[in-house]
Amino acid sequence: MGGPRRYVLLTVILVLGIVIAQLLLHTVRKSPRDSVAIAERELRMNALQPGEKVFRAVPVFQRSAIDYFRATRGLLVLTDRRLLYLGLQPRDLTGSTDVPPVFEQRDFPIDTLVQLTRGRTFFMLSRALEVHAPDEDLTLGVASDDWSKGDLLALSYEGRHQKLLAEGLRQKQVRAAAASAESAALAESKQPRFHVVQRGEAMSMIATRYNTTAERIRALNQLPNDKIRVGQKLMVKPEG
């Protein structure tokens, strides 16, 4: 019984090996070797906005669990306006080689809510750059030969991210200072105001200076008439 079972097992392993080898060979033939060049051309011709400048770019890949052996290859690009992923989707195994390339594009704003960190791919086989945004996360593998570019891109993004955080903190402090000054001014405006009579001043002059009337000043200070003396302290504005 051991012999037939061993024979069946070897046959299954051989057939499985042949299928995998054919799949890999077919994948290589169907996935263009110049996928990065195609993505770079798409980036220049269609993806970039007018006047947008590229700071860093690194070749990346994505492998889905369903179609692991046919990676989506492309670029992760840091521009002066955004973080951009441009992936060239693999061609259909049964499709024609003349079909135009299909791209997957995802844009992430450069703000304090989007983070770019270093990590590993799903099976921990390759280094990766991980984009964390409020509505989605994206893990992109980076080949060993390209990791220096990926690391520089991550450093560049981290630098801009830190500047945004610092600017956000500065603006928060400015707003807090403005709110505090406004609150202090409001509190001061509710306090009563007084005026000390100087030589040569008359009631009408003081009233004009504080945008009020002599009658109002007399009422606030319970004065019978407009006679005042030097050094006298007059309330010109009541509390509140």
* CATH at residue 224: 3.10.350.10
Residue 129's identity, in one-letter code, is: L
Task: Using a cut of 0.95, tell me whether the model's pTM lies above it.
Answer: no
Q: How far apart are CA 235 and CA 223, in angstroms?
A: 11
User: Residue with structure tokens 């996360």?
Assistant: 137
Looking at the domain assignment, is residue 82 inside a domain?
Answer: yes
Q: Considering the domain boundaries, does residue 22 fall inside one?
A: no
Do 67 and 148 share a domain, yes or no?
yes
89 in the same domain as 56: yes
Query: Which residue in this structure is represented by tokens 């400048």?
Result: 53
Q: Same domain for 85 and 140?
A: yes
Q: Which amino acid, residue 197?
A: V
Residues 6+ away with beta carbon under 8 Å from 194: 233, 234, 235, 236
Q: Are 99 and 90 in contact (CB under 8 A)?
A: no
Asked if residue 174 belongs to a domain, the reply is no
pLDDT of residue 154: 95
Residue 58 sits in a domain of what CATH number?
Answer: 2.30.29.30
Report how far apart, in Å, the C-alpha atoms of 155 and of each of 1, 48, 125, 152, 162 are. 62, 22, 22, 5, 10
DSSP states of 147-179 as a string?
A: HHHHHHHHHHHHHHHHHHHHHHHHHHHHHHHHH
For the four alpha carbons of 11, 14, 17 and 21, in that order, the dihedral sign comes to: negative
Spatial separation of the C-alpha atoms in residues 218 and 196, rounded to whole Å: 14
Which pLDDT belongs to residue 170? Answer: 85
Task: Examine residue 181 and state whether it is found in any structural domain, yes or no.
Answer: no
Domain boundary residue, one of 134, 168, 202 = 168
Give, rounded to a whole angstrom, the gap between the first and last alpha carbons of the chain.
Answer: 104
pLDDT of residue 33: 53
pLDDT along the chain (240 residues), means of 10: 68 74 50 75 93 94 68 91 90 61 90 91 82 92 92 93 80 86 83 91 91 91 91 87
Q: Which domain holds residue 233?
A: 193-237
Q: Are 153 and 85 in contact (CB under 8 A)?
A: no
Determine the pLDDT at residue 179. 86
Query: Is residue 1 domain-resident?
Result: no
Tell me which residue has tokens 């809510």: 113
Q: Kindly state whether residue 6 falls inside one of the protein's structural domains.
A: no
Residue 103 forms beta bridges with which residues? 88
In total, how many domains does the chain have? 2
- The answer to whether 120 touches 126, Cβ cutoff 8 Å, is yes
